[in-house]
Structures are given as C-alpha cells and as structure tokens.
Structure 1
Amino acid sequence: MTTYSGPARLILPDGTPFAGMASLSTNYSGGQTTWSGTFRPNQATAELQDVSDELRLELPYEQTGAVAVTGVRKFLASQVMMSLAGRGPAPF
C-alpha cells in the first residue's frame, strides 16, 4: 500500500481550482490496484459541494489524477470532508 497525505488542489471540469489537504492510499485487491481517500478544501463553497465527476486532483510537482467525489460530509462548523475514488493510475 502506498499513501500520500498533504497539500492538493481539486480542479473542477471548468478549470476552477480549490486548494486543500488530501489523504490518499492505494488498495490492492483481486489483482487490481485502485486508489481512494479524502480531500478537505480550505474553503467550502456551494459550487464545490455540488460536484461529483470529471474532476482532477493535483498534487505537488504537477502530479495529477482523475477522481470522482463519492460523498461529502460536514467537518467542523464551516468545513467539509470529501470522499474520493481515483480513476486510472494514482498520482503518488
């Protein structure tokens, strides 16, 4: 299992970036490697909470991976935690 925890940017389909912190890991099951994790944006906006697919997650050094949002839950009073499912190769 490979992991990454640190700064990241979630890029919407229209190119709008949202900075935040990501916690990601790879999973090996049935001969296949997948990746998933969470993303906590620095600012939670209504626009960001309505997204689900065709997103990119950018890590430092311009490493990017396609992701889908599988869930959004409130985190503290003014923040959200987004569950992500990676698509394709992991960027870490």
Structure 2
Amino acid sequence: MTFLDRTAHARVRDLSLGGARIEMPLHASAYDLPNLRSLHIPQIGLARVDVRWHSDHMIGVEFVTPDLIRQSLTRYFASLDPRTSVRPIGG
C-alpha cells in the first residue's frame, strides 16, 4: 500500500472487480488513511484506490479506475483452481 509519504505491507482478505478488503498489521487508526493512494497486489499489479471504510485492522478500498485493472483481475480469477473455496464476487 502506498501513502503520500510511505508504504505499508498488508494482506488482501477479499477481492472483487470493484475493490478489496485489506487486513493491516496495526489498527487502521495508525495509518494516514486519507492519503492512501494505491495498492499493489502480486499477480495483478498496481491499483489506485479510495478508502471506503475501516474497522480495527481492516480497511475497505474501492478501485478508482476499475476498468484499468479489470483485465488483470479477470485473468487472476480465471487462473484460480475451481476446487478451492476462493470465488470471485461482483461484476
């Protein structure tokens, strides 16, 4: 995750074509959330984001330009093993 003046590591807990739910190592209040600018997701790439909500260690972000990341997300979802419990939501 990239803020105006620093970066932070996080874990993606939920991912959709419109955004993501992110688990942070520290409480969300420890971060400068209004200045969160982007999220890098391995195998997908860099996405510009806006924070929509936060609670405890979780942050919900919306992709600012979902059309630009849609192709990478669609490719990623298609590569998932259908026998796993991971399923894409949204469209």
TM range (shorter): 0.5 to 0.7
Task: Pick one of 6, 9, 22 that aligns with 1:19.
Answer: 9
1:56 matched residue in structure 2:
38
Give the fraction of aligned pairs with identical amino acids, expressed as a percent. Answer: 13
Residues 53 and 69 of structure 1 are in contact (CA less than 8 Å); yes or no, is this contact kept in structure 2? no
Deviations 1:37-77 (A, max 9, x none): 211112336441x4135510011258100001111112xxx
Equivalent-residue separation in structure 2 for 1:52 and 1:25 (angstroms): 22
Structure 2 partner of 1:6? none
Cα distance, 1:83 vs structure 2: 0.8
TM-score (norm 1): 0.60
Mapping of residues 15-54 of structure 1, within 5 Å = 16-22=6-12, 23-26=14-17, 35-44=18-27, 46-48=29-31, 50-53=32-35
Q: 72, 77, 81: which is aligned to 2:54? A: 72
Alignment TM-score, normalising by the size of structure 2: 0.61
1:13-55 deviations in whole A, cap 9, x for unaligned? 22x11111112101xxxxxxxx11211112336441x413551
Query: How many residues matched?
Result: 68
Provide structure 2 residue ranges, at least 5 long, that are not aligned to the other structure. 74-91
Q: After the TM superposition, which segments of 4 or more aligned residues of structure 1 sit over 6 Å from their partners? A: none
Rg comparison, structure with higher value = 2
Q: Which has the higher strand share?
A: 1
Runs of at least 5 residues in structure 1 that lack an aligned partner in the other structure: 1-9, 27-34, 75-79
Q: Judging by fraction of residues, say which structure has more helix.
A: 2
